[in-house]
Structure 1
Amino acid sequence: MAESTAWLLMILFILTFTVVSSIDDKCAACNAVAEEIENGLSNEKPRNHLDMRHRLDSKGQRKGKVIDYRVSELRVVELLDGLCDKMQDYTLQKVDSKRYEWVRVDNWDNLAINKQEAKAYSKDISSYCGRLLEDTEDELAERIKKGSVKVGGVSKILCQDLSKHCNMSSDSHQADADDDEPDGEL
């Protein structure tokens, strides 16, 4: 009985360690998440201010605030809600013998690679996204509300400033990916 419990614990430890360490290139994964946030930002439709004047004073005048949508909590929720579910549309694609990149899959039936493996990668990046948001969501939300998160700058803010998964600009990161040092199996 004790031996079977030990085996079960060892298997659970191995599975947990494999899932946690499955994203080897956190910078590339973070950039894919940032790309999805940028898609959300660029597809935003103009919105009216949020009218929070629902109470009436003694003279019958509406009381409360009118909040600009661009700095509202609602905008943050709409941008980040379901983000990690959208990451399940991504998988790893081999670029060359040493380098992989995260790409959006439009049609899973037309994949040239093993579909089970591709789906496993999509679950990996989705769970990575959850951990990334858990670590950075409060600061990211504040920056979105302040207006400092704009299309074209999400990767720098999320991957360099907040999560520290990328230490340099994405252009120089791409150059480092071509170095002769092995990055590990993705």
Structure 2
Amino acid sequence: MERRRRKRRSEAVLVVAWCLFLFATFISVSGVENKCSACNAVAEELELGLLNEKPRNHLDMRHRLDAKGQRRGKVIDYRVSELRVVELLDGLCDKMQDYTLHKLDSTKHEWIKVSDWDNLKTDKQEAKAYSKDISSYCGRLLEETEDEFAELIKKGSVRIGEVSKVLCQELSGHCSKTSDSGQAENYDFDEGEL
């Protein structure tokens, strides 16, 4: 009899622990309600990619030889190539794991890039959870906008200083033209939506 009570009590504890785990998971799966701030953090990382681009030669796609031994194919300007787009976007969301949510006061937050996680003054576990959230957000943002964004890059329509406007206002619509681009007021976004 005593054994059954202990077993029921441990089952109840497990159910409560499981419910708390699910609740905590639901909270950590959520993200920034102000998607504008998160989008601007992604745009900032893209800006860094554009700034750090090294000059590249044209891509020589002339690999075939015709009957006379002449090379046939295209020479593509790197700046309008698919390779450039891939190099800019590849690993972008992994780089977002260097960002976390910084609380300015009780109502205002901003996404900041962390240079040294060991010197972080806030709760490191919570900060790492935020970094995973913005990385997931980045993946969903790119999934939603990648085709159009890639075409704009290839056309030369995405310039340094304008990435946020193109990505966050025009393509995703996460920022209005009058929104405060750097502040996240609340932290809450659904896994399935951007």
Indicate whether the TM-score tops 0.5: yes
The equivalent residue for 1:4 is: none
Query: For 1:102, what is the secondary structure of its paired residue?
Result: strand
Report whether the alignment pairs 1:148 with 2:160.
no
Deviations along 1:47-70, one digit per CA (max 9) or x if unpaired, are: 000000000000110000000000
Unaligned runs of 5+ in 2: 1-15, 189-194
In the alignment, which of 53, 68, 76 is matched to residue 67 of structure 1? 76
d(CA) in 1 for partners of 2:116, 2:68? 60
Tell me how far 1:10 sits from its aligned partner: 7.8
Greater length-normalized contact order (CA 8 Å, ≥ 6 residues apart): 2
SS at match of 2:112: strand
Match of 2:125 in 1: 116
Counterpart-to-counterpart distance in 2, 1:140 and 1:12:
38
Q: Distance in 2 between matches of 1:31 and 1:141?
A: 18
Q: State the percentage of identical aligned residues.
A: 69
Write the mapping of 1:42-53 to structure 2, written as runs, cut at 5 A: 42-53=51-62
Cα distance between partner residues in 2 of 1:52 and 1:185: 47
More divergent stretch after superposition (96-105 vs 135-144): 96-105
Question: Is 1:107 matched with 2:116?
Answer: yes
Aligned counterpart in structure 2 of residue 166 of structure 1, from 153, 156, 175: 175
Q: 1: CA distance between counterparts of 2:127 and 2:157?
A: 34
Query: What is the TM-score of this pair, normalised by structure 2?
Result: 0.81
Match of 2:66 in 1: 57
- CA distance in 2: counterparts of 1:131 and 1:16, whole angstroms: 19
CA-to-partner distance for each residue in 1:63-97, whole Å, 9 max, x for gaps?
00000000000000000000000000000111223
Residues 42 and 184 of structure 1, relative CA distance in 2, 3 Å threshold: closer
Query: Which ranges of 4 or more aligned residues in structure 1 deviate by more than 6 Å?
Result: 9-13
Unmatched runs of 5 consecutive residues or more in structure 1: 1-6
Who is 1:30 aligned against?
A: 39
Would you say 1:130 and 2:130 are equivalent positions? no
Q: Report the alpha carbon displacement of residue 23 of structure 1 after superposing the two structures with TM.
A: 1.8
What is the aligned residue count?
Answer: 176
Match of 1:92 in 2: 101
| Equivalent runs, 1:8-27 vs 2, <5 Å | 17-27=26-36
TM-score (norm 1): 0.85
Q: Which amino acid aligns with 1:98?
A: T
CA displacement at 1:24 relative to structure 2 = 1.7
C-alpha RMSD of matched pairs (Å): 2.7
